[in-house]
Amino acid sequence: MNTETSDGTGETTVRRWLVLAILCASLLLTGLDLTVLHVAVPSLARDLRPSGAELLWIVDVYSLTVAAFLVTCGSLADRVGRRRVVLAGFALFGLASLAAAFAASTAQLIAARAALGLGTALIMAATVGIIRNVFPDDRERALAIGLWTATHSLGTTLGPLAGGLVVEHFRWGAVFLINVPIVVVVLVAGARHIPESHNPAPRRWDVLSVVLSVLGLGVLVFGLKQLTDPAPATAPAIGVGAALLVWFVLRQRSIGHPLLDLGLFRNRRFTAAVLAVFGCFGSYVAMLFLLMQWFQQTGGYSPLQAGAALVPLAVANALGATLAPWVSARLGNRAAMAVALVSFAVALTAFAAAGQTSGYPLVAVLLAVAGFGAGIVMTAGADSITAAVSPHRAGEAAAIQETSFELSAGVGVAVFGSVLAVSYRLAIPALPALAPEDAAAVRESISSVPDVRHHLGPEDAAALHELTAGAFDGGIRIASVAAAVMLLVTAALTANLLRARGNLDPWKSREQC
């Protein structure tokens, strides 16, 4: 039997799925890069000595750059060619990975991570259009977009484990070298097999909208991160960032060819799905970031052990994503997402109450519950986003979907990382036994404690470790409760929005077709 059948686009069946495999490899890579650095944070912090705010920038600038440029890069890909843009994104991603691997200062690493984010934005924005062009059949395209999205989530979950394997034996910068051989293979395969395509009637590229979105997000998140070490510019930055984003929204509603069509949010099911994905994925990525530090800084885990400790979370997340259609078909999309969000929140609350004194077996169970709930929400929510709009608007919906994923990751780490940093600092009392510079370093970050302890006697060193470990553990618990509260609010809002008539469950409607 010959599988080399062709469709109206001239693409053979085998080539279509080969192109999807190349694109999924790229999304696995970009998802991996979202979290692979989390496990390396303690060793990175000891090497580069970043402040609390700088550390959050190192972790967060990647996802925020992706979110800020995703829609803009999509418009660029429509104009100059999607194949050309996606290959440029791969090339930039590979070069930025090399720069990050050998960064010798905090500023260099932040710049390299921002370049990685721009490369990822080019890749992700172009792949949506490529999938639409290569898969003209609605059912095949829905399956392709679902696999593409799931691959990104898989990469995000596997990032800490991959990072742990690398950091266990090499310097922290080696986590970025994972990208290089994969980028080379994808560049060669992509140049050969990905077809070129353009939008025959691309939207006008509104420069002011681009500037407002990028500056608004950047300034707002800068202000949020400065909450870890408040400065006179903190409140004005938050206010200016919020004002720029409000201006961006008003402009999108007033111009004829908006950069981001906010009219899609008039659909309550679409809005509910975006809200659910935003709240869930932001909490999920923030939890990965916090747990990696918690396991290593106060639990005594090695990088590999810390990555392996998240295996129950990864397995449960994959299982939840796989069973999401079955769960949604039987409970309804509204109940499935609301219950999954509440389950995630309950797991975080129990985790905050139990802490490390309960032992790893209970922590593993709670991680599995959290991962399963998150897997259902992210898969059912992503499908609802595309199912809530007409087929010819699937590309716009997918762009908003991916923007919500990346933006929520950045905001989640910024907010809950700041909660941890502030809680930790407030829990550290005056340290008159230490030199002023050592006391300041300890209050700034727990990563400085091992170096400071070398200057102390055994009893004082043990007391300092116990004090800082308790403060850090308390900060993790407070951040977990904060995330649980946000998940419960998200669950309530999602359930309310999906109560409206006419909001058919996409999984049920598909079964009836």
Q: Quick one: average pLDDT of 205-213?
A: 80
324 vs 118, which has greater pLDDT? Answer: 118
201 vs 297, which has greater pLDDT? Answer: 297
pLDDT at 184 > cutoff 80: yes
pLDDT at 502 > cutoff 50: no
pLDDT at 146 > cutoff 90: no
pLDDT at 95 > cutoff 90: yes
For residue 75, the model assigns a pLDDT of 72
Give the end of a domain, one of 219, 241, 258: 258
Q: Same domain for 159 and 65?
A: yes
Q: Same domain for 180 and 251?
A: no
Give Dmax over CA atoms of the chain in angstroms: 80
pLDDT at 96 > cutoff 90: yes
109 vs 266, which has greater pLDDT? Answer: 109
- Report residue 3's pLDDT band, with 50, 70 and 90 as the boundaries: very low
127 vs 484, which has greater pLDDT? Answer: 484
- Over the stretch 454-494, which tens digit does the pLDDT of each residue have? 777 777 777 877 888 788 888 888 999 999 999 999 999 98
pLDDT at 14 > cutoff 60: yes
Nearest to 412 by CA among 287, 257, 250: 287
Q: Same domain for 88 and 192?
A: yes
| Alpha-carbon dihedral 336, 342, 343, 349, rounded to 10 degrees | 170
- Report residue 264's pLDDT band, with 50, 70 and 90 as the boundaries: confident
351 vs 262, which has greater pLDDT? Answer: 351
Q: Is residue 4 part of a domain?
A: no
- Report residue 2's pLDDT band, with 50, 70 and 90 as the boundaries: very low
Q: Is residue 372 part of a domain?
A: yes
**DSSP per-residue string spanning 202-259:** PPP--HHHHHHHHHHHHHHHHHHHGGGS--TTHHHHHHHHHHHHHHHHHHHHHSSS-S
Q: Same domain for 132 and 228?
A: no
Q: Same domain for 58 and 175?
A: yes
pLDDT at 99 > cutoff 90: yes
pLDDT at 384 > cutoff 80: no
Report which residue type is found at 25: A
CATH number at residue 448: 1.20.1250.20
Q: Is residue 2 part of a domain?
A: no
Q: Same domain for 44 and 189?
A: yes
For residue 409, the model assigns a pLDDT of 76
For residue 356, the model assigns a pLDDT of 64
Q: Same domain for 213 and 296?
A: no
For residue 229, the model assigns a pLDDT of 61
Q: Is residue 346 part of a domain?
A: yes
Give the number of domains in the chain: 3
Q: Same domain for 481 and 441?
A: yes
Q: Is residue 1 part of a domain?
A: no
Q: Count Cβ neighbours within 10 Å for each residue of 275-289 and write b for 16 or more, e otherwise.
A: bbbbbbbbbbbbbbb
Domain containing 225: what range?
A: 206-258
Q: Same domain for 168 and 214?
A: no
pLDDT at 10 > cutoff 50: no
| Span of 38-52, 145-159, 255-269 with lowest mean pLDDT | 145-159
- Over the stretch 150-178, which tens digit does the pLDDT of each residue have? 777 778 777 878 888 888 888 888 888 88
Give the end of a domain, one of 169, 186, 203: 203
| Span of 362-366, 389-393, 404-408, 467-471 with lowest mean pLDDT | 389-393
Q: What is the pTM of this model?
A: 0.75
Q: Is residue 494 part of a domain?
A: yes
Q: Same domain for 291 and 154?
A: no
Q: Is residue 3 part of a domain?
A: no
Give the end of a domain, one of 220, 237, 258: 258
Q: Same domain for 480 and 369?
A: yes
Q: Same domain for 101 and 187?
A: yes
Residue 254 has a CB neighbour count (10 Å cut-off) of 8
For residue 485, the model assigns a pLDDT of 93
